[in-house]
Amino acid sequence: MFEASALNRKNETRQKLFRFGLGTMTGILILPVVLIMGTLIYKGAPVISFEFLFASPTNGMTAGGIFPALLGTVLLVIVALLASVPLGVAAAIYLSEYAPDNWFTRAINLAIINLAGVPSIVHALFGVGAFVIFFKFGTSILAASLTLAIMTLPVVIVATRESLQAVPMAFREACWNMGATRWQTIRRVVLPNAITGILTGVILEVSRTAGETAPIMFTGAAFFLPLLPQTVFDQTMALSLHLFVVSTQVPGMPEQLPFGVALVLISMVLLMNSLSIALRMYLRGKKKW
């Protein structure tokens, strides 16, 4: 039999110590956030009611609901998706199915990384310079949504590219051997096998788009509007900006109300992300190759 030497025992203790230390660090990282979420729910939940979700703000936003902001966020997300999903999927198809491995493709990948890394306020400046002023959209849903679309484009591209590349090469080869063109192969074989993966990316993008504030501040979101937007050239309220406004800009705000707004926003975002994660796990369980 083996007898544990002093060195073995020392190593053993050290190992346990490190494991414990690292586990504690992980816990310290997560615990405050759990406490914060608890506080948000504790203070925000009493505010939320049917009326809060479906009424307009009243009394200089110190009372009433958040419906115009909620609707505005939904509109911004829809218009942004209409622009970025086709573009992002096309870009991902190019990168996964067509792009050769050369400097130009590397430049595209670097541009994607940078698009994701540029500060959100710089995207806002771009939105002002390009969409509001140069293309003369004014401060409007269209300008804000296009700014958001460009900002979140990398999310769609990366998720779609990954799910396209997860489709085995043999599937494509089999299809080519039958005389299919490259596009026929992509449409009939590659995309149907990757569609759930693409969907997880789109849901993630919805979550990102709904939470962004800085890019829409000067491009189309307003602090307060008495009327709901009628066309994409109108300004709109948005939930993320509404949280900023009610928590910093309005004197005499009841303490509870911003907590309610924050809770609605964060629930929306986390729900979307959970959905995306659940879909991904379901997909992983189903895959046979």
Q: Give CA 193 to chain center in angstroms.
A: 23
Cβ 200 to another protein, closest distance in Å? 12
Q: CA-CA distance, 203 to 277, in Å (whole number)?
A: 10
Contact 100, 88 (CB under 8 A): no
User: Which residues, numbered 219-278, are part of the site for another protein (CB under 8 A)?
Assistant: 240-241, 243-244, 247-248, 258-259, 262, 265-266, 269-270, 273-274, 277
Of 45, 53, 90, 195, which lies in the binding site for another protein, with binding defined by CB under 8 A?
A: 90
- Cα gap 77→91, rounded to integer Å: 20
Q: Which of 154, 197, 220, 229 touches another protein by CB under 8 A?
A: 154
Q: How far apart are CA 171 and CA 147, in angstroms?
A: 37
| Residue with smaller CB distance to another protein, 64 or 138 | 138
Q: Is 111 in the site for another protein (CB under 8 A)?
A: yes
Is the CB of 228 or the CB of 266 nearer to another protein? 266
The dihedrals phi and psi of 236, each to the nearest 5 degrees, come to -145, 160
HSE toward the beta carbon, residue 2, CA cutoff 13 A:
5
Helix-, strand-, coil-residue percentages of the chain, each rounded to 5 = 75, 0, 20
CB of 21 to another protein, least distance (A): 7
Residue 77 contacts another protein per CB under 8 A: no
In the complex with another protein, the residue whose CB is nearer, 70 or 153, is 153
What's the Cα-to-Cα distance from 62 to each of 10, 47, 236, rounded to whole Å?
Answer: 63, 12, 19
Work out whether 31 is an interface residue with another protein (CB under 8 A): no
By CB under 8 A, the count of residues binding another protein is 98
Q: Pick the piece of the chain touching another protein (CB under 8 A) from 74-82, 194-202, 212-220, 225-233.
A: 212-220
- Footprint of another protein on 186-205 (CB under 8 A): 186
Which residue of 45, 63, 82, 122 would you call a contact of another protein, by CB under 8 A? 122
CB nearer to another protein: give 178 or 230: 178
- Choose the binding region for another protein from 46-54, 55-63, 98-106, 191-199 (rule: CB under 8 A): 98-106
SS3 64: strand
46 binds another protein (CB under 8 A): no
Q: Is 3 in the site for another protein (CB under 8 A)?
A: no
Q: For residue 63, what is the DSSP state?
A: E
Distance CA 75, CA 264 (A): 17
Phi, psi of 64 (to 5 degrees): 80, -160
